[in-house]
Every structure is written in structure tokens, then in C-alpha cells.
Amino acid sequence: MHFSASTQFMPSAQRILRCSLVVSMLFGCVVTSSSQQISKADRNLAQQMLRDVAADVAKYYYDPKLHGVDWDAKVREARENIDKADSMDSAVSEIAALLDTLNDSHTRLVLPPRNYVHRYGFGLKMIGDRCYVTRVHAGSDAEKKGLQRGDQVLAVNDLPVTRKTFWKVEYIFQVLRPQPGLRLTLVDEDGQRRQVDAMAKVEPSSVIKYSLHQGINQMIRDWTVENDLLEPQYYEKGDQFLAIRIPAFSLSPVGVDRVIDKMRKHKGVVLDLRGNPGGFSRTLDRLVGGMFENGLKIFDHLARDSNEPILVDGRHRDAFTGRLAVLVDSGSASASELFARTIQLQKRGFVMGDRSAGMVMEAKPYRHEISVGTDNFYGAEITVADLIMTDGKRLEHAGVEPDILILPTAQDLSSHRDPVMAKAAGLVGYKVTPEEAGSMFPEKELEK
């Protein structure tokens, strides 16, 4: 979890297995918005957004019965609440809360990009049932206030942070209601509490930058940075060992083939999918196929009007057949969970680390223009299919339970040790200390 810029609408229909975030009714009552009073035009826009999103859900959601939710009644309630909302943020939160009644990880409201982004200067992650600071950006206010890797976080702006509420807290402060600063309630090993008020760095978003002179240059720079962040990272020792970190399932078929070809040159491989939110279905299919000589079914695809098995082709002699370990954690979602569970069910290798996110559906974006001729859109990502694994079970709300559960400690985080990678490397034939494992993949700076 990185508190930074708000999520923007992604129109690509290919991103159907990417982890999505939704919002709960908490947002309507516990977060104070800093927005100005809502205007009549903004209120009308919020009502239009509600009508469009509600109609899209009724038309496209994979379950035409909407899990038994009285959708018309919920929409009326949201409409009435928007009429009483005191800010645009509050009005928009009502639409997000409406979608949350479906209790679906991949159906979510997507807002137009904001003119300004809030960079809070730190990253959080759930490890087991505890939330820890996993990154503090150099020069940030959080660093100046003494926030450190390994600090345990009990609450953000008085919102308790648990495994169930973590993504809700993220969605509030990244997307719905960015704040000038965040108050972190921390606790040390002795149970002593302290608070850190980390002020955000607020700067113009890409929406403004792209509209300025030479904006195309800024766009190219942003694309370059994003592509670099999504590239696989490698650590290898001769032909004995290879560790690969895949940040997201965003690789082209050619890119996946490069990964598999590199794997085939080594006897033991650790595939690190920790923090991987998912991505393209085509990337998943090709990567799974590369682990097996023969074809196989990976799951059943239950859509609104169809039910079909999803099969992948094996790579025969070009498959990787060596020792394999797959690493997952609470940030591993969607396509990365499907990959790990397939490896587990087929007894192809070990799955290690923490229980995964349990956000496994298939979604498609539906968007609407704010006004004719603009590049700004709003809409929703709507679940169009449920996915059932070959054991007859869903991963949604359950996640992948690792074969070997290993949770880094606060001391591991503060010392940059990686006991999960060290254990996995040993299982595939390469001995490495947690200290050495922690330096395999240098952290890439996400915020400037």
C-alpha cells in the first residue's frame, strides 16, 4: 500500500484480473472531508454519475440478481443522501457505498483524475493480522517526523486498520477523500502508543502537466517510469538459482516468453508475486502454460450468460520443469492469486509467505464522459464473471493459504531482512541468508 496519487480510470478491457478496491459505508460517517461546500452543478453531476453507474451495474453485473440486493431501493437511498450531501466528496462517497453493498472486490467506482495529487511519503502493508510501515520516502514529512520501517500501525486518522479494513482505508485517502495529512497511531513492542502526523506533499497531477506546453514530454516520462516499475527484476546465481520479481501481470506474450526462457536455464526458481495486484488475463494464461508440459484447466469462468472452462496450452519441451517456489502476501491479488493457487492445486511447487488478498473476480470498465469533447471520464469497473478453481472453490474473500506460512517481523522490516525469500531459495536448492535475500531486489522509488 502506497499513499500517493489517486486512482485514474483505465479504459483497457484487458485489465480484467486486476485487483480492484471498493468502499464501505464507513466512508459516509467517519472521515471528515476538507472539500468546499458542494455547488448545484456538482450535485447534479453526482446524481448523473449515480444514474449512469447504477444502470451499468444492473445491465452488466455477472449476477443478474445482484446477490439478492434490493438495487432500486439502494439507488433511491443513495440519491436521497446525495441531495443532502455537504460536499462533492461526500456525494461521490454515496455512490461508492452503493457499490459496496455487492460485497465484491472488483466492482468499484472510478473517478476522474484529480487536479492535484497527495503524496504521503510512506507505504503500509498487512503482514498477518498486523499493519506495518514498509517504506518511508527520503525527504518526506513522514521521515522528518520519525516514521520508520517496521513501525506497527493501529489506525490512520482514527480509522482502525485491520486485514478487513486495510483496503478501505487505502481507498478513502487515495481516491475518495485525499487529506492534507494523515495521523498514524503507532504501537511499539512494549505496547506503548505514539502518534505521527505526516503531512502530504501536494502537487499538480498529470492532468495539469499534460495540458501545459511540452505536456507530451511529461506524458512520455510518465509512461517510461510506469513501464520501468512494471518490468520483472532478476537475481541469479549461475544455473542453480534464479529469483524473479514480477510487480504486475502486465507483460506481453513476448515478455512472458522471455521470463520462461530465462527460467529454463536454471534448476531452481523463486517467483516473487508479493504485492502483485494482478493484471492481464493473457499474461496469466501464458505464464501458467509455461510451467507445464501439457495443457490444463485453471478455472471455470461463470459469466452472466455463460459458464465455460478456461484452458491453457502447455509448452511441451519449452516448459520450465525445474524446482519452483511462489511467494505471495496480503498484497498479492487477482491474477497472481490464480497463478499461485494453480501451482498449488497441480502440486507443481511450493507457495510461501502470507495469505493472499482474496480479491479474485473478472471485471471490465464502463465509462462515461463528463461532457462532450473532453478527455475526463467517470464510471465503474464492474465484475462480469466469477472464477471457480478446479477444486470447486472460490478465492474471492478467501485468498490463497500458503503451503509454508512465513511472516516477516518488525525487526526484519527495519533491518531489510527477507526470511521468506531466504527460506524459498533454500527449498529450490540455493542457500542464502535473510540479509542477503533482502538485498536481491533494490526498492524502486515510487514517489519523488
Are 106 and 359 in contact by the 8 Å Cβ rule? The answer is yes
Band (447; pLDDT cuts 50, 70, 90): very low
Of 90, 226, 108, 94, the C-alpha closest to 170 is 108
Domains and CATH numbers, the chain: 116-204 (2.30.42.10), 230-361+384-437 (3.90.226.10)
Band (295; pLDDT cuts 50, 70, 90): very high
pLDDT for 215 beyond 70: no
pLDDT digits (tens, 9 = 90+) for 234-291: 999 999 999 999 999 999 999 999 999 999 999 999 999 999 999 999 999 999 999 9
Band (445; pLDDT cuts 50, 70, 90): low
What's the pTM? 0.87
Residue 153 backbone dihedrals phi, psi, to 5 degrees: -110, 125
Rounded to the nearest angstrom, the gap between the alpha carbon of residue 264 and the centroid of all alpha carbons in its chain is 29
d(C-alpha 373, C-alpha 208), whole Å: 17
Are 205 and 5 in contact by the 8 Å Cβ rule? The answer is yes
Cell 453485473 maps to which residue? 61
Of 216, 233, 206, the C-alpha closest to 4 is 206
pLDDT for 394 beyond 50: yes
**pLDDT value of residue 27:** 32
Which are the contacts of 35, defined by CB distance < 8 A and separation ≥ 6? 87, 88, 89, 90, 177
Question: What single string gives the DSSP state of each residue in 386-406?
Answer: EEEETTS---TTT-PPPSEE-
Return the C-alpha cell found at 428.
Answer: 529450490
d(C-alpha 306, C-alpha 93), whole Å: 33
Mean pLDDT over the full length of the chain: 87
**pLDDT value of residue 190:** 81
Pick from 8-17, 28-37, 247-256 the range whose average pLDDT is largest: 247-256
Q: What angle do CA 336, 297, 385 make, to 5 degrees?
A: 60
Between β-strands 323-328 and 350-353, what pairing exists: parallel, antiparallel or unpaired? parallel
Return the C-alpha cell found at 148.
Answer: 520508520
pLDDT for 55 beyond 50: yes
d(C-alpha 413, C-alpha 136), whole Å: 12
Cell 511447487 maps to which residue? 349
d(C-alpha 163, C-alpha 131), whole Å: 8
d(C-alpha 221, C-alpha 286), whole Å: 29
Alpha-helical segments (H) within 145-205: 166-171
Residue 277 Rama label (left phi>0; alpha psi -120 to 50; beta): alpha
The lowest-confidence range among 295-304, 375-384, 388-397 is 375-384
Between β-strands 241-245 and 268-272, what pairing exists: parallel, antiparallel or unpaired? parallel
pLDDT digits (tens, 9 = 90+) for 101-154: 999 999 999 988 777 888 999 999 999 999 999 999 999 999 999 999 999 999
Helix (H) or strand (E) holding 264: none
d(C-alpha 365, C-alpha 305), whole Å: 18
Q: What is the identity of the amino acid at 231?
A: E
Whether the CA torsion 312, 316, 320, 321 is positive or negative: it is positive
Which are the contacts of 374, defined by CB distance < 8 A and separation ≥ 6? none
Helix axes 88-100, 40-60, angle to 10 degrees: 10
Of 257, 262, 269, the C-alpha closest to 313 is 257
Whether the CA torsion 285, 291, 292, 298 is positive or negative: it is negative
d(C-alpha 314, C-alpha 265), whole Å: 18
pLDDT for 16 beyond 60: no
Return the C-alpha cell found at 225.
Answer: 517510469
